[in-house]
Amino acid sequence: MDTDLILVLGLVFAVLSIPSMISAYSDDRSIRASAIVMLLSLGAMAYAIVTHPGGYTFDQIPEVFFGVVARFMP
């Protein structure tokens, strides 16, 4: 798996865990599962940034995101 894909998956899972955390908090349920997903996604993003040669900048993130999405579109 390349670092671009790992970064995009980390971003997607991080964004999806935020509404889950809010929903669990508002229903007085435990946010444990959502927090674990958030931590794993942050770890994936950190791994991708550290192992990518030269790292990523904020300007590159949209280009990387749409590049990965374009690879999987027919």
Per residue in 38-72, pLDDT tens? 999 999 999 999 999 988 999 999 999 999 999 98
Residue 1 pLDDT > 80, yes or no? no
> pLDDT tier at 27 (50, 70, 90 boundaries)?
very high
Residue 17 pLDDT > 90, yes or no? yes
> pLDDT tier at 13 (50, 70, 90 boundaries)?
very high
Task: Compute the distance between CA of residue 27 and CA of residue 20 in angstroms, rounded to an integer.
Answer: 11
| Contact (Cβ atoms closer than 8 angstroms) between residue 40 and residue 14 | no
| Contact (Cβ atoms closer than 8 angstroms) between residue 6 and residue 69 | no
| Contact (Cβ atoms closer than 8 angstroms) between residue 24 and residue 30 | yes
pLDDT at 55: 87
